[in-house]
Structure 1
Amino acid sequence: MPTCPNCSSEKTVKNGHIHNGKQRFKCHDCGRQFVKNPTKIVIDQEKRELIDRLLLERISLAGIARVAKASERWLQSYVNQKYALVPREILVNRKKKGKLTIQCDELWSFVDKKGNKQWVWLALDADTREIVGVHIGDRDEKAARKLWNSLPPVYRQCAVAYTDFWAAYGAVFPCKRHRAVGKETGKTSYIERFDNTLRQRVSRLVRKTLSFSKSLENHIGAIWYFIHHYNESLLV
């Protein structure tokens, strides 16, 4: 009889069969049930943490499955659950009322097919570099309103916002605190640099990628997952 993989006891007996007909054994000492030479790969906590880190890099799910030696079916289920639990609200350090400056921009992406465009609207604190506003959706006035509403209250009350000349910003942002500027001014350089970081780190946003999202929910979850990680990294 095989020894118990849990306690190494030799007091094991046959205990029926599993779903595929393979012999099952039971340990008399610890009660563990097991099969000899199991083929099912157990994903332990250490490997899950590795996968969590790999999800923050420019790697496709198929690539992560190969690196982590996990099945693509299991990985997809794990990712679905993980992204569903990612908070869809900004978590940043509290700010006092006063002089605040944000830079806003939007970048293009798609889900399933290029005809299904999804725009990532972002607002960045020019002093702390934190992402303080996010919305993913269309590129219209309604979307600009959702970006504005995603800002913490102190930014909606006090911040001066620098944006490009896209008309939706001017229709939503308070005119006295909105500055539409060109790239040559450098007033939107930080958010433009973050756009590049996002495209380099989130494989779903890489231009001409084969790692595009097929699920809008996962597309949004992946972006939020990276943004939370990015903001947390600024605190280190």
Structure 2
Amino acid sequence: MNKLPLKTRVQILNMLCEGSSMRSISRVCDVSINTVSKLLVDAGKFAATFHDEKVRGVTASRIQCDEIWSFTYAKAKNVRTAKSAPEEAGDTWTWTALDADSKLIVSYLVGGRDSEYAMAFMDDLRDRLANRVQLTTDGHRAYLEAVEGAFGADVDYAMLVKLYGKAPEGPQRRYSPAECIGARKDRIEGDPDIAHVSTSYVERQNLTMRMQMRRFTRLTNAFSKKFENHMHMVSLYTVWYNFIRIHKTLKMSPAMAAGISDTLWSMTDFAEAMDAVAPRPGPRGAYKRRYYT
């Protein structure tokens, strides 16, 4: 069976993580769009397993959580009139939990924004931490029950509730959010240090997500057509961000700063690790020969 050279696969994966669209990658790398899509699926599945195994026992002091919006196939308001819209079409939210010191993405979850996803997200975050932390979230009410159910009293938890003024008027109202005129810091559980109640780092990381993944770009036709591909891209991005990308401030990868990796990974290392666990491909036509004998 034919297989892309390692160099080409590494180039495709790097371009996916640098914000290139799948069709532009297929043109630059001279491969079919189906090849790019299949590699994304394979890499996303491996990346999800890689993150699940490697990001464990994280020692942190401050964790910041936030959600970032995108959509699959069509925006929620257009799903009803969209042609052949799949069941998962509509708004798609990515939950992220960031260590404020090492900038490590400790946990992430792709799906809806309701209490069920909030509880699953907080349960996963709790399982990856090695110690009691100070936790800060935005004012999303679903966090209240989720944090209580996951951590109980074993957390110093505060909410940063942003206060917004009047929405802009005129044509710019469609694209410009209301002005943030202040923020309120509410202690919810334990004894959080009010000076460190912030979501600035995780919000900045969310901007990096928008810049590095083409399907997150606003006001373009670059959106996910399949929910599964969206999840695979987020999983690939998370490993790239944690283990491969050098953080400009830290001068190392977040995984190294968090103490869960001794070395800086490269995309070549990642692709070789994929190959090491991938099943050996059989000869072409093997299925047909078995079927007809």
TM-score (norm 2): 0.60
Contact kept in structure 2, 1:92 and 1:231, CA below 8 Å: no
Deviating more after overlay: 159-168 vs 79-88: 79-88
Q: In the superposition, relative to structure 1, how do residues 156 and 45 fare at CA in structure 2: closer, same or farther (>3 Å)?
A: closer
Report which of the two has the higher share of strand.
1
Mean CA deviation greater in 197-206 or 157-166: 157-166
Residue in 2 that maps onto 1:48: 9
Paired with 1:151 and 1:199, the residues of 2 have a C-alpha distance of: 22
Aligned to 2:160: 181
1:83-98 matches, within 5 Å, as 83-87=44-48, 89-90=51-52, 91-92=54-55, 94-96=57-59
Question: Residue 135 of structure 1: CA displacement?
Answer: 1.0
Residue 72 of structure 1 deviates from its aligned partner by: 1.9
1:42-121 aligned at under 5 Å gives the runs: 43-87=4-48, 89-90=51-52, 91-92=54-55, 94-96=57-59, 100-115=61-76, 116-121=90-95
Q: Which residue of 2 aligns with 1:166?
A: 140
Taking the aligned partners of 1:157 and 1:140, their CA distance within structure 2 comes to 27
Displacement after TM superposition at 1:81 (Å): 2.9
* Change over 3 Å in CA distance of 1:141–1:60 after alignment to 2: same
1:226 and 2:237 equivalent? yes
Where is the helix percentage greater, Structure 1 or Structure 2?
Answer: 2
The Cα shift of 1:157 comes to 5.5
1:194 aligns with 2:205: yes
Distance between the aligned counterparts of 2:128 and 2:45, measured in 1?
28
8 Å CA contact 1:43, 1:70 repeated in 2: no
Contact 1:123 1:133 in 2 (8 A): yes
Paired residues in the alignment total: 194
Q: Radius of gyration: which is bigger?
A: 1
Q: Which runs of 5+ in 2 are unaligned?
A: 77-89, 163-182, 186-196, 246-252, 257-263, 265-293
Ranges in structure 1 where 5+ consecutive residues have no aligned partner: 1-40
Q: 1:138 aligns with which of 83, 87, 112?
A: 112
Report 1 or 2 for greater relative contact order, CA contacts < 8 Å, sequence distance ≥ 6.
Answer: 2
Q: Deviations over 1:84-131 (max 9, x none)?
A: 3332554336445xx621000001111111121111011101111101
Aligned mates of 1:210, 1:85 — CA distance in 2: 28
How far 1:67 moved relative to its partner? 1.1
Deviations 1:51-70 (A, max 9, x none): 11111011110010111111
User: What letter matches 2:134 in structure 1?
Assistant: V
User: Structure 1 residue 214: deviation in Å?
Assistant: 1.3
Q: For 2:40, give the aligned amino acid.
A: V
Which TM-score applies when normalising by structure 1? 0.74
Distance 1:71 1:194 in 2: 32
1:229 is displaced (CA, Å) by 1.1
Label 1:93 to 1:80 Cα distance change in 2 as closer, same or farther (>3 A): closer
Supply the RMSD in Å over aligned alpha carbons: 2.4
CA contact (8 A) 2:69 2:93 kept: yes
Q: CA deviation at 1:211?
A: 2.2
Residue pair 2:64, 2:198 contacting (<8 A) in 1 also: yes
Q: Secondary structure at the match of 1:179?
A: strand
